[in-house]
């Protein structure tokens, strides 16, 4: 039975979005602009020095719980939000750079001591939706079948036919559609849950709650 390392933070999960399609590889977001719809909302949001920054904004991790936990130097999420056929469509490119250290068998080690082929098997992300420096909601992105290695690998996610009231947390459908037309940006990217894996046949599962 295959097991895996699991890091998670408990919290409410907003309504699941529809029609998620995922590819991994050296690919970029496809331009699907249409002449008869509002301009796309595009941007980049990043997370750096994870999980070490948790010492500032959350409780530090108990590394003894983990067999494998590569640190993330930077996680980059490029996004494009658009209105297509009266529904929401989102295209996202995800890339991460492995840090100089990590955890192996409960000990903090150098990157050179980690397995060669570490991948992020799945990840749940959360970002704040900001307009004119004011937080108006949250965007939740669950990716259950990621299997993404460090940079230069890139994952592309396309989420189609999403009902407006399911796009953001704490934002009505009418307001979400308005935001798609008037613009917003994503900030304060956070990892709620991540599962790291390797190509090795045996894995150990740990969960932090």
**Edge-first strand listing for the sheet containing 134-143:** 5-8, 185-198, 118-131, 134-143
Three-class SS of residue 30?
A: coil
d(CA 20, CA 15): 13
Quick one: what percent of the chain has pLDDT higher than 70?
73
> Residue 146 above 70 pLDDT?
yes
CB atoms within 10 A of CB 166: 18
Residue range 91-121, pLDDT digits in tens: 999 999 999 999 999 999 999 999 989 999 9
More confident position, 144 or 64: 144
Domain definitions of the chain by residue range: 19-198
More confident position, 205 or 103: 103
> Residue 28 above 50 pLDDT?
no
Mean pLDDT in residue range 158-181: 97
* DSSP secondary structure code for residue 13 in this structure: P
What sign for the dihedral angle of Cα 125, 160, 151, 25? Answer: positive
Cβ-contact 27, 154 below 8 angstroms: yes
Binned at pLDDT 50, 70 and 90, residue 167 comes out as very high
More confident position, 135 or 61: 135
| Mean predicted lDDT score pLDDT of the chain | 82
pTM for this entry: 0.77
pLDDT score at 66: 86
pLDDT score at 180: 97
d(CA 31, CA 5): 36
Report the Cα 37 to chain-centroid distance in Å: 27
CA quadruple 195, 120, 122, 136: dihedral, nearest 10: 100
DSSP output for 80-128: EEEEETTEEEEEEEEEEEEEEEEEETTEEEEGGGS-SSEEEEEEEEEEE
Q: Is 107 exposed, middle or buried (0-12, 13-18, 19+ CB in 10 A)?
A: exposed
């Amino acid at each position: 039975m295959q097991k895996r390392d699991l890091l998670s933070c408990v919290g409410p999960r907003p309504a699941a979005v529809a029609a998620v399609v995922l590819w991994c590889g050296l690919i970029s977001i496809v331009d699907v602009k249409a002449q008869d719809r509002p301009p796309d909302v595009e941007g980049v949001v990043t997370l750096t020095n994870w999980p070490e920054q948790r010492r500032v904004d959350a409780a530090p991790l108990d590394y003894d719980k983990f067999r494998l936990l590569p640190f993330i130097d930077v996680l980059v999420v490029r996004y494009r939000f658009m209105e297509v056929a009266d529904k929401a469509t989102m295209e996202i490119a995800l890339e991460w750079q492995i840090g100089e250290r990590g955890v192996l068998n409960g000990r903090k080690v150098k990157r050179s001591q980690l397995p060669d082929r570490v991948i992020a098997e799945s990840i749940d992300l959360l970002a704040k939706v900001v307009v004119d420096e004011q937080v108006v909601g949250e965007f939740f992105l669950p990716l259950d079948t990621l299997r993404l290695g460090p940079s230069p690998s890139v994952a592309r996610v396309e989420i189609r036919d999403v009902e407006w009231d399911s796009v953001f947390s704490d934002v009505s459908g009418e307001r979400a559609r308005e935001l798609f037309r008037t613009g917003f940006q994503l900030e304060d990217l956070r990892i709620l849950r991540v599962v790291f894996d390797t190509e090795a046949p045996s894995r150990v599962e740990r969960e932090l709650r």
